[in-house]
Amino acid sequence: MKLGKGVEWAAHTCALLALLPPKATLPGDSLADFLGIPSPYLAKQLQAMSRAGIVAAKRGASGGYRLQKPAESISLWDITASIEGTAHSFRCTEVRRSGPCGAVKSECKRPCPIAATFYDAERRYRETLDAMKLTDIVSAVAIEANQNRKDRIKEWVQTNAALPA
């Protein structure tokens, strides 16, 4: 059971976008530069989040990305789901139906108890991520950071962000 590293990138990207003044945007290349990750690949995650309605993309000069919703209504699950999808982690191939003693359809009205337990576990996993909002992440990160770093981030944002005309 493994998540792609795009999830980590996407989450940190959103945490950065949450610091932008309203309506301001940051280009994909700048975001990748800030995080020290390959830009063309991050672009994929950004597109996915754009399609999911998490970020708004603006083309053209002084374009880029910004959050499309208030940070308190974006959860870590929203971000994860936009990158990884919402498919079940447990793939039930209905083994119980095959083999010499396979069950017939009438015995399989309810989901297999093994699959049902995994789905329940996944639901709890999802709920935990969904309870963590982008605002919570930003607060937690701010607590850890020292003043010097906060200043440098602020300066970097002012240098790289574009405000609409």
Partner DNA sequence: TTTTTATGGATATTTTTTATCCGTAATTAC
Partner DNA sequence: GTAATTACGGATAAAAAATATCCATAAAAA
- Contact footprint for a copy of itself (CB under 8 A): 1-3, 5, 7-9, 11-12, 15, 33-37, 76, 84, 87, 89-93, 95-96, 98-104, 106-110, 112-115, 117-118, 120-122, 124-129, 132, 136-137, 140-141, 144-146, 149, 152-153, 156
CA distance 78 to 134: 10
Region for residue 134 given its phi and psi (left: phi exceeds 0; alpha: psi -120 to 50; beta: otherwise) = alpha
> Coil, helix or strand for 96?
helix
Binding to DNA by residue 162, rule CB under 7 A?
Answer: yes
User: How many angstroms from the chain centroid is the CA of residue 68?
Assistant: 13
- Choose, by CB under 7 A, the member of 22, 36, 40, 100 that binds DNA: 40
Q: For residues 55 and 26, is the Cβ–Cβ distance under 8 A? A: no
Binding site for DNA (CB under 7 A): 2, 4-6, 27-29, 38, 40-41, 43-44, 46-47, 50-51, 57-65, 162, 164-165
